[in-house]
Amino acid sequence: MSEKAPAKTHIDFAYELDLVVKHDARAPLLDREFGHYTGAGVPLFSIGGGYYRYGLIDILARFHARRGYYIVETPIIASASLYELSGHLHFYRKNMFLFKIEDHDFAIKPMNCPYHILVFMHEVARNRSKVKLPFKIFEAGRVHRYEPSGSLYGLLRVRGFTQDDAHIITPRDHAVESIYNVFLEMRELMEKLFNLEVNKDTVYLRLSLSDPNLIGTEFMGTAEEWKAAEGFLETAADKIREEYGIPSYKERGEAAFYGPKIDIIMRLREQGIEKEWQLGTIQFDFNLPRRFRLYELVKDVYGYDEVYIIHRALMGSLERFLGVYLDYYKGRLPFTLAPVQFAIIAIQTGEENVDEKIVNIAEALKEKLLRAGFRTGLISTSKTGLSKEVRRIESTSKPAVLVYIGKKEVEEGFLTVRPYSLRERKRKNIRVQLEPDPVAELSSIAEELERGVVEIAGYAPRIPADMSYIL
Ligand code: ZN
């Protein structure tokens, strides 16, 4: 092949590809890079999905632990009597999977709350007032609920999902602060891990309140309890509005029968279309403390009984969140959770001695990145096949960082590195010198992409894997 002034280098092609990769290309939902549907309405997280789950749950555990939550893991199977005690067997029965083992009735856990309350009561019974209130319990809790097959919808509606679930048992004088803190947690997680801005244009709060005329009939608990809890929610919402300008709307009569709540709604705007997405929720519960005789225990140990149980989630469900996120970012995840973090693209020339150098550098690089803990893949292509290959991986595995190595790089001693910016929705171009140690510089590019996670969780999980076959 003649070498007379090639009009375009492979980097020029790469630049063009960012324009070529259509932003409205269908997002690879679960059935490609992340997993499969099994037919039972429960997603199977395969290669890709597995890294998302393990990485995310690790981050969530550390994030919550640093904010004073205790971490638990409660069983998937429960004695049906637990849900009889909680009342779910009565008012939630049609959504529960029930079965027998040796003539005893069991349920697949539809909610984590009863178990969390048992944990709290056990700790208090044992350690008495050494257990400080507010007491906060977190679990990435997997629950299963019956949904008719017709209502199943991708990752958005499944029969088995994982809640980023926590329960806060708080005395009256810490209730507002507890609610406000949940908002701050949600904001940190969305901004630092997921690159989703939380401000007055992107988020609003929906307060679901009682109909005062129906307290005691449709809404359980006392008028005083409802008044106090709704007051806490409104005060916290006012504070959020003052500090962040985030508006809130009240809906009278829309509360659950067991207590009022705030839902945190995110608006995702894209190409003129706005989609609303319910993220977190903060719910009071007047049902469970009565059924578990929690007030009596608290009164006995702490000398007062004005405590509240708050259920809360920041993401909602890990499955649904993944579905909406992949849709919004067209199949891309933040660096820490991406199935393929580094994709090394070796561009062969046909010149034997040059190609040998390219392959050697590319393979050594892959090994070092794997050792540094990154999910890394390596593919070889020719200069003419490059644009097709890049277009293919940009529409399938969508690596977080592309690393090009070709003739020019070998001759001039550098790598062309192209990390994807979720904020700008495009790749930028960084030149990394091959000497003395390109991996040190690639690691610092990674650290920059991991910085938000480190801020909120104390570290960024690295789960290495050779992803070459997926590229
Ligand atoms: Zn709950």
Q: Give residue-wise pLDDT tens across range 103-139.
A: 999 999 999 999 999 999 999 999 999 999 999 999 9
30-74+112-328 classified as CATH 3.50.50.60: no
Residue of 142, 187, 192, 311 with catalytic role: 311
Res. 250: pLDDT tops 90 = yes
Q: What is the pLDDT of residues 60-119, one digit of tens each?
A: 999 999 999 999 999 999 999 999 999 889 888 999 999 999 999 999 999 999 999 999
pLDDT value of residue 368: 97
Alpha-carbon distance of 180 to 238, in angstroms, equals 10
Nearest to 415 by CA among 458, 452, 445: 445
pLDDT tens column, 292-334? 999 999 999 999 989 999 999 999 999 889 888 888 888 899 9
Determine which one of 165, 263, 285, 355 is catalytic.
Answer: 165
Q: Quick one: the chain helix, strand, coil %, rounded to 5?
A: 45, 25, 30
Tell me which of 64, 167, 187, 398 is the catalytic residue.
167
The pLDDT value given to residue 12? 54
Mean pLDDT score across all residues of the chain? 90
pLDDT at residue 30, rounded to an integer: 52
Read off φ and ψ for residue 203, nearest 5 degrees.
-135, 140
Domain 10-25+334-470: what homologous superfamily?
Anticodon-binding domain (3.40.50.800)
Q: What is the pLDDT of residue 148?
A: 87
Ligand 1: centre distance to CA 311 (Å) = 4
Fold match, 10-25+334-470 / 30-74+112-328: no
382, with CB counted inside 10 A (0-12, 13-18, 19+), is middle
CA angle 272, 205, 137 (to 5 degrees): 120
Q: What letter represents residue 321's amino acid? A: F
> From ligand 1's centre to the CA of 320, what distance in Å?
18
Tell how far the Cα of 261 is from the centroid of ligand 1, in angstroms.
12
Strand order in the sheet with 273-285: 70-71, 135-144, 160-171, 307-317, 273-285, 261-270, 203-208, 248-251
- Find the 390 Cα to ligand 1 centroid distance in Å: 45
Q: Where are the domains of the chain?
A: 10-25+334-470, 30-74+112-328
Among the listed residues 109, 116, 261, 320, the single catalytic one is 261
